[in-house]
Structure 1
Amino acid sequence: MTTVDLDVPVGTVDRPATVIAESTPVPEAWARLHQDEDGCGVVVRDDLPIAVVTAGALAERWPGGGPLAVHRTRVHDVLDQPCGVEVLGPDDALGHAGRRLLATGLPALPVREGHDGALRVVTARRLLAALLAAGPRP
């Protein structure tokens, strides 16, 4: 049986993030999230991650009041607590990323190399796929 190396860097399984400004209208954010392979994105304020959001979560919080009200509602208006989210570094271990995903209950966590690096994301789905790929094969 092959053991899984949980010390492998998270940078081996992360991918470019769908980044959404908190001022983005909800319908636009929802449409962009549907183009993301995992249906999730990182909400930013001044380039700092403040939340991770999914298309399903936006749909659950879809504002009423007709088309005009919907287009005036911004992503920030429907977030529970847009106060920040943990950001991983590309050298953080897969095991650490998995523990943080479990602890936060989020479907993904942002990954950034350095202060000004582009945002990437590690998702629970990609992490699980990497762990299962390293396991025993028939």
Structure 2
Amino acid sequence: MGEEAVSQEQQEREAFLSELAAIDSNIDEIIDEYRDDDSGDDLPAYLIAADIDRWAVSNVESDSVRDVFSKLEEGFRLGTPAVQNLIAVGFVEGLPFPSEEAAQNIERMLGPCLRELWILNHNHGGLFSEQISLVAEKYAK
């Protein structure tokens, strides 16, 4: 894949992260921490996603977290493959497994796409591009 394609995918991921940042100032602060540490390279979208994921699990009762999960569901259904992969790998893989205590609060916030990815992740110990593509096709626009 050429540099231009990678750059386009990175731009799509960063644009989606900016949409999440508009939901809650804590997310904007998480992203800003990476901007402050940035050496001029692209922002590490998957690391940022993992930090947002941890924030969401820790603040699961807040309205902002509900809004974040709604945006993730929408982003997966309507997003580009780069955004879908970011959501699946960066967010869903970091969610507590169904057997964990924190999972009950998370599970009720998951829409159909995220729920299916979450179950696949639990059953297979990770998400693979074929699984992500199949779920994306199933719930396409």
Q: TM-score range by the shorter chain?
A: under 0.3
In terms of fraction of residues, the more strand-rich structure is 1
Q: Normalising by structure 2, what TM-score?
A: 0.26
In terms of fraction of residues, the more helix-rich structure is 2
Q: Normalising by structure 1, what TM-score?
A: 0.27
